[in-house]
C-alpha cells in the first residue's frame, strides 16, 4: 500500500529522476509491458490485483480518502492553529507533543511519539527521514512521494538551503536551518511561523493558512 501511494507522487520538485539501473529498452522482460509513467503503473497493478481478488477497490479508495482528506494534513493544521492562538497550548505542545496531540484524538500508527519544533526569525526547521520514510501519518496524512525520494533524503542534509530554494523558500542569511531526522521512534511536526495579517482570525480560519509542506519545513504558511 505504502509503495503505491509513493508512486502516485513520485516526480518531485527536486528534479526529474535519473534512469534506474534496470531501465532499458529490452522488451523481453515482462515488466517492460507496464506503462512508463508511475501513476499508470500503479493503476495497472491495481487492476491486476483487483482481478485476482487480492484487493477491494472500494476499501482502497476509503483508505486513501481517509488519509488524504479526513486525517491529514487537516489534523496537523488544527494543532498548528491552536499553537498560534493559545500560548498555553503552544508551551504544552513544545514540551510534550505526543501527549497533547493524543488528547486531541490524533494518535495511532506512525504517530506514537511526536516532537514539535517551532520556526522563528532565528531558526527554520525542516524534517527528513534519511533511512526510509518515517512520517507522522495521524497529523499529516500520506507522505508525499518527494519525501521518500533518494534525492530529497540525501540532499536536504547536505544542502538544506538549496533544497528549500527549490521549494520556493528563500530565507534570510541570518536565519539558521536545522534538519531533523525522523526515525521509527520519533517523528517531527514543524510549527511554522504565523503569517503577518492573521491577527484576529479564529482557529478554523488559521487552519486554512497551514499547508502540509509548512509542517514539514519545506514551505511557509499561506498569507491570509
* CA–CA dist 95, 89 (Å, integer): 10
Q: What is the mean pLDDT of residues 86-107?
A: 95
133 is catalytic: yes
C-alpha cell at 76: 496537523
CA 18 to each of CA 21, 22, 23, 150, 188: distance values in angstroms, whole numbers, following the listed order: 9, 11, 10, 11, 29
Q: What is the mean pLDDT of residues 32-40?
A: 58
Of the listed 6, 10, 133, 214, which one is catalytic?
133
3 is catalytic: no
Of the listed 10, 12, 85, 129, which one is catalytic?
129
Q: What is the mean pLDDT of residues 185-210?
A: 96
The predicted-structure confidence for 129-174, as pLDDT tens digits, reads as follows: 999 889 998 899 888 889 999 999 999 999 999 999 999 999 999 9
pTM flag (> 0.85)? no
134 is catalytic: yes
Select the more confidently predicted residue: 20 or 101: 101
Of the listed 6, 85, 134, 214, which one is catalytic?
134
Categorize the per-residue pLDDT at 26 as very low, low, confident or very high, splitting at 50, 70 and 90. very low
Q: Are 10 and 149 in contact (CB under 8 A)?
A: yes
Q: What is the 3-state secondary structure (H, E, C) of 184-204?
A: CCCEEEEECCCCCCCCCCCHH
Amino acid at each position: 500500500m505504502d509503495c503505491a501511494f509513493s508512486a502516485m507522487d513520485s516526480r518531485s520538485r527536486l528534479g526529474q529522476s535519473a534512469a534506474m539501473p534496470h531501465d532499458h529498452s529490452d522488451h523481453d522482460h515482462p515488466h517492460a509491458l507496464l506503462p512508463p509513467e508511475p501513476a499508470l503503473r500503479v493503476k495497472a497493478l491495481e487492476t491486476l490485483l483487483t482481478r485476482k481478488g487480492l484487493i477491494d477497490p472500494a476499501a482502497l479508495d476509503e483508505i486513501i480518502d481517509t488519509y488524504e482528506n479526513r486525517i491529514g494534513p487537516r489534523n496537523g493544521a488544527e494543532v498548528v492553529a491552536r499553537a498560534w492562538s493559545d500560548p498555553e497550548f503552544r508551551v504544552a505542545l513544545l514540551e510534550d507533543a505526543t501527549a497533547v496531540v493524543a488528547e486531541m484524538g490524533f494518535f495511532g500508527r506512525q504517530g506514537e511519539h511526536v516532537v514539535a519544533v517551532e520556526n522563528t526569525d532565528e531558526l527554520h526547521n525542516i524534517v527528513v527521514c534519511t533511512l526510509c520514510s518515517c512520517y507522522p501519518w495521524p497529523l499529516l496524512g500520506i507522505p508525499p512521494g518527494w519525501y521518500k525520494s533518494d534525492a530529497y533524503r540525501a540532499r536536504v542534509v547536505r544542502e538544506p538551503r538549496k533544497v528549500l530554494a527549490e521549494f520556493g523558500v528563500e530565507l534570510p542569511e541570518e536565519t539558521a536551518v536545522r534538519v531533523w531526522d525522523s526515525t521509527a521512534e520519533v517523528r517531527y511536526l514543524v510549527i511554522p511561523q504565523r503569517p503577518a495579517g492573521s491577527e484576529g482570525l479564529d482557529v478554523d480560519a488559521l487552519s486554512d493558512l497551514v499547508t502540509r509542506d509548512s509542517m514539514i519545513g519545506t514551505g511557509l504558511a499561506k498569507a491570509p
